Structure 1
Amino acid sequence: MEEKNPMEEKIKELYESISFLGFNATYSRNNTYVENCRELVPKIQEFAQWFLTNITGLEEGIYQNLADILRDCETALREHDNVLMMDALEQGIAGYLEMFLSEEYFREKEKVYVGKAKEQES
């Protein structure tokens, strides 16, 4: 039997939160992305610490890139930079989270979103 990653549910929740906040910011065109992301900071820190502590054997650049992304998040929070924060989360952190999400997870999400889109069309 496959060993379950203890962070699996937290990774899914964080990934979905990042996706939702990006979608919301894009479609509502409000200027509150950084404020909305503040609640994710402890979860991002927990994931980063788990990743850096438990995921070994990758190229050094991968770990350095994660550290750079975290610095970008810190800068975005400090300077209230919505664009930098969105880039750091959606192009950065989300990419690391995707490493731990199965193809099945994405197939299920696709079914849900395609189903909702078809309902709205009819």
Structure 2
Amino acid sequence: MKNTQHLIAIAALAAATFAGTASAAAPSQEVWFGAQPVASGAPLSRAEVQADLNLWNRAGLNELNAGDHNDVANPAYAQRLAAYQRLRSGPEYVAEVQRLGGSVSTAGTAVQTSAH
């Protein structure tokens, strides 16, 4: 009987501890990557999304965000992010979308001209 009461008390304590940990809010995506661009309401085309990913990879950001860690404090991350933003807001984005057989929509233009 005494062991049962101890087990119940331990289980209750563990459940309360887990509930407190689980309810802690994780950092938002905005905290990690900055404010997201406001889309014009029209969804991006497949070519636009693929072009964006290709530029992300070309800037080398895919290598820094691999695995369970995030290197946002790494100076190389800031350099590669700046390179990605330059590519994404420049003619390289339009060229990549066209290479993939698409055209830049007004939503893609809104994303292109705003900060990532």
Larger radius of gyration: 2
- By the TM > 0.5 criterion, same fold? no
> Structure 2 length normalisation: TM-score?
0.31
Higher relative contact order (CA 8 A, sep 6+): 2
